[in-house]
A and B are shown apart, each in its own frame.
Chain A
Amino acid sequence: MSQEVAVAPSADPAAPLLARAQAALEDRKLETVKAWKAQNPGALAIGHMPIYTPRPLIEAVGALPVAMFGGGDQVDIIRGDSYFQSYICHIPRSTIELALGGDLEPLDGVIFPAICDVIRNLSGMWKLLFPNKWSAYLDVPQNFDRALGGKFYGIELARLAKELHERGATKLTDEGLARAIADENERRQAIADLDALRRKEPWRVRASEAYLMVRAGAAVAAKEHTELLRAFLAVAGERKTRAYDNVRVVMVGSFCEQPPIDLLRALEKAGCDIVWDDAQLGMRTIEGPIEIAPGRSPLDALVDAYLDKGCATASRYIANGVKGQALIDRVKATDAEGVIFSAASFCDPALLDQPMLEAALNEAGIPHTSFKFAENTAQFQVIREQAGAFSDSVRLFGGGA
């Protein structure tokens, strides 16, 4: 039988930090952004849709990057549905709902990174609906040659910085960007430490908790997020809990529209220790620090990091590698016993990727199961039962859900 693991909140030194992170998740009216703007008069707050957006570039021009993840399960869709047909995923409709309802008012602009045709077209809808707000589509390279895709991406990044400057951000300088990259690297290291702890002692940091702590960085500067993560890590080791006999899984497919936090909790209750997942992938896309190589500028460093250290995901073309190998490597590196495919309904990149990844896992003898969700899914009984059956079968037979 799978066991539920919980740290009693009263005795949990991490409880106040988790509560703060939960409040950040629920801050749909962007109160923290308003507070930041009040403290930084004239500075810009720039939203960005999921997956990778080079946040240090935004910080380097004195602006606040704000990761946008739709409305989750908090928003009733009233207007959003009249802009999207039924067969389109949920995140664009809740994003439009928030924007039309004025909840995104504190943002001075939005970046739409290239991830799929939905986000791409949403960038054009934005231009039509909010012509007076700055917005930009960020095309990322799918050609990873420095002289081709790298050069193109460098021009894209410089264009973003220039446009932000034209709208009141400070001018991009090498020093400013180098500082922002250093801040970002510290944050990344803190996330890596959190991931390592969760991998080593998943009963001490549940996936849902790690998720909250990473998500808490969505609308704050890297430095502030690092402090929060470090504070959490400092007390995580003191949490009183014990190890349970759960199944270790990697979860993929949730890189854009986010699974409700209760879905993660339902998986945990079903006996799964999620030792790695791609929710919040924007914070983890670059694997390892962003390094400024000799003779390269800080802007080049952002380009190099994307070309050389970008992690495998559905929206990134796998040029010469073997499809699915990165997932198998991830399973091995995290000592996972199986994979859960958890994609948003109608998510083209995730769902087109999935059969290829499943084939690779089959070949490697790694068990897997799959389900779909929407950010506003409220019932998890079926998913919980499915995950429970999966974890039981992995535990008993070592595979084959």
Chain B
Amino acid sequence: MSENVEKDRSQLRQKQMIGGHFERLARAKEDGKKVVYTFVPGNLTELLGAFDILPVLPEINALQSGMRKKSGGYIATAEKAGHSEDVCTYVKCDVGQLKNGNFGPTGTKLPEPDLLLLSYTGCFTFMKWFEILKQEYKCPVVMLQVPYQSEGEITPEMRRYVADQIRDVVVPALEQTTGKKLDMERLREQLRWSARAEDDLVAVWEAAKRRPSPIDGYFGGVYYVGPIFSSFRGTEEAALYYKELREEVEQRIATGQAAMTPDGPQPREKYRLVVEGPPNWTSFNDFWRMFSREGATVVASTYTRVGGLYDQGFRHDPDHPYETMADYALGCYTNLNLPSRVALLEKYIKEYEADGFFINSVKSCNSFSVGQLLMLRELEKRTGVPGGFIESDLVDPRYFGKANIENRVQSYLQMLDARMHRPLVPGEGHPVALPVVEGGTR
């Protein structure tokens, strides 16, 4: 959020937490701490915490590089080194960052990994990403395969497979890396802290069911998920952060304040939207303002659920450590099949009383993007609520055409304004902004 907006206490705490983490990482080698690189969706942060391991999350570094306008240069470095223009830009951003000295978001140097923990949830690119990093760092990799919820459910066999891999493959690898035995009590403690933070985060999400919504559940939401998506799940610090955040949101409700925007509180909630897809990071605030300045608040989003569907009931369970970590890994949003994703969005549109829904389809991410045009049709059919569709990218500035996207967002919101009180008539056609990716080759 822009500098002239007063920061909440929770935001300051988050900033300190993140700063502290990168300082610990910078000192890791001299402090004798082990460092494991791993991914966001379905990760095993509590387990790493139980071993006192410091995690590095390359996706978070990539998105931070995007926000700090460094990703364009990093991507160029990776493409020069032979990486295709067609593939996920998170990977290229990470490779470029590595080739430029591997400085993290706060400007401190990141330590090399002692182990790559390839927890393989919801995306094939993860697998290729760590194969690439393995070549760069020449360090061991441990893989956790997480089956896809292709039939819309977690079967006992899937749970068993993941739990067995954690117990028989991942834990021994971590024991070997650290030279320590797993302290089960410590793990349970971590899981307990996670569940507390998860309770409070759900209360924050659900506050958006009110009118006006006291939060923006997408643009604002990505800040809220910072600690729980990254290295802090399972810590007391994270639990305190979410408690504080929840109190702040309750305070906003008590005083009738609408969601925060980059320019201060939203003066008038005009449109309530549900958003599918990750945001663009290179022009994040510009993108947000395209909505907030028109009075649009996002009341729920799927991107903020890639690190766990807590609002659908999942909680880490200290009494069943392996099974709960398995369920968590299996349950992340991008591990749901398309019918389940549509059903979840439909639920959000209805429960949060959205006036519209919007899909930001990112070029980088097949995991999210393939099928989104069908999701758009299905959702319009099922809810009668009109959908908008644009294309951009996560961290490649070449694929964020500001004027073009702004036009599309505006015409969508104008159309929404005209239709808000009239359901979509079947056959009337939907207001899809047809896909145009600048720089695309088709």
Q: Which A residues have a C-beta under 8 Å from some C-beta of B?
A: 82-88, 92, 114-118, 120-125, 127-129, 136-137, 139, 141-143, 145, 147-149, 151-152, 155, 314-315, 317-319, 323, 345-349, 351-356, 358-359, 372, 374
Contacts and interface: CB of A to CB of B under 8 A. Distances in A.
A88 B440 CA distance: 10
Given A124-B150, A124-B371, A143-B143, 20 more contacts: A85-B435, A86-B435, A86-B436, A86-B442, A116-B124, A116-B366, A120-B367, A124-B337, A128-B342, A142-B120, A142-B127, A142-B143, A145-B169, A147-B168, A317-B143, A319-B143, A348-B87, A348-B128, A352-B88, A372-B86
A252 B128 CA distance: 16
B440 A120 contact: no
A116 B126 CA distance: 11
B32 to A, nearest CB: 28
Interface string B350-393: 00000000000101001101111110001000000000000100
Contacts of B363: 85, 87
A356 B135 contact: yes
Interface in B80-129: 81-84, 86-88, 91, 120, 123-125, 127-129
A355 to B, nearest CB: 4
B374 to A, nearest CB: 5
B325 to A, nearest CB: 16
B165 A318 contact: no
Interface residues of B, number: 57
B339 A128 contact: yes
B367 A117 contact: yes
10 contacts: A87-B86, A87-B437, A92-B370, A120-B367, A124-B341, A142-B120, A143-B145, A148-B169, A317-B127, A351-B86
Given A86-B437, A117-B125, A128-B378, A148 B164 contact: yes
Contacts of A317: 127, 131, 143, 145
B124 A88 contact: no
Contacts of A315: 124
User: Which 4 pairs between the two chains have the least Cβ-Cβ distance?
Assistant: A124-B338, A137-B150, A352-B128, A121-B370
Contacts of A87: 86, 363, 369, 391, 437, 440, 442
A131 to B, nearest CB: 9
Given A86-B435, A87-B437, A351 B367 contact: no
A117 B123 contact: yes
Contact of B161 (A83, A124, A129, A148): A148
Contacts of B87: 348, 351-352
A139 B81 contact: no
Contact of A127 (B123, B148, B337): B337
A139 B143 contact: no
A292 B134 CA distance: 35
B157 A155 contact: yes
Contacts of B125: 117, 348, 352
Contact of B157 (A124, A152, A374): A152
A83 B389 CA distance: 12
A127 B437 contact: no
Q: Which of A88, A121, A139 has the most CB of B within 10 A?
A: A121
Contacts of B157: 152, 155
B16 interface: no
B145 A142 contact: yes
B441 interface: yes
Nearest to B85: A351
Contacts of A82: 373
A372 B441 CA distance: 11
Nearest to A88: B370
Contact of A151 (B148, B161, B391, B441): B161
B343 to A, nearest CB: 10
A318 B131 contact: yes
Given A114-B148, A121-B371, A85 B361 contact: yes
Contacts of B168: 145, 147-148
A141 B437 contact: no
A124 B82 contact: no
Contacts of A345: 86, 441-442
Instruction: Name the residue among A122, A125, A345 with the largest chain B CB count within 10 angstroms.
Output: A125
Contacts of B341: 124
B62 to A, nearest CB: 15
B425 interface: no
B435 A355 contact: no
Interface string B143-158: 1010110110000011
B124 A125 contact: no
A15 to B, nearest CB: 37
Interface in B321-337: 337
B150 A349 contact: no
B5 interface: no
B132 interface: yes
Contacts of B367: 117, 120-121
Nearest to A121: B370
Contacts of B378: 128
A123 B337 contact: yes
Given A85-B361, A148-B165, A123 B150 contact: yes
Nearest to B118: A317
A355 B78 CA distance: 10
A117 B135 contact: no
Question: In the complex, which of the residues A83, A147, A152, A319 has the most CB atoms of chain B within 10 Å of its own CB atom?
Answer: A152
A82 to B, nearest CB: 7
Given A149-B145, A348-B125, A354-B84, A125 B374 contact: yes
Nearest to B81: A355
A120 B148 contact: yes
A346 B340 CA distance: 26
A42 B128 CA distance: 43
A166 B367 CA distance: 31
A85 to B, nearest CB: 5
A323 B337 contact: no
Contacts of B123: 117
Contact of B370 (A84, A136, A314): A84
A152 B168 CA distance: 14
A111 to B, nearest CB: 11
B8 to A, nearest CB: 37
B89 to A, nearest CB: 11
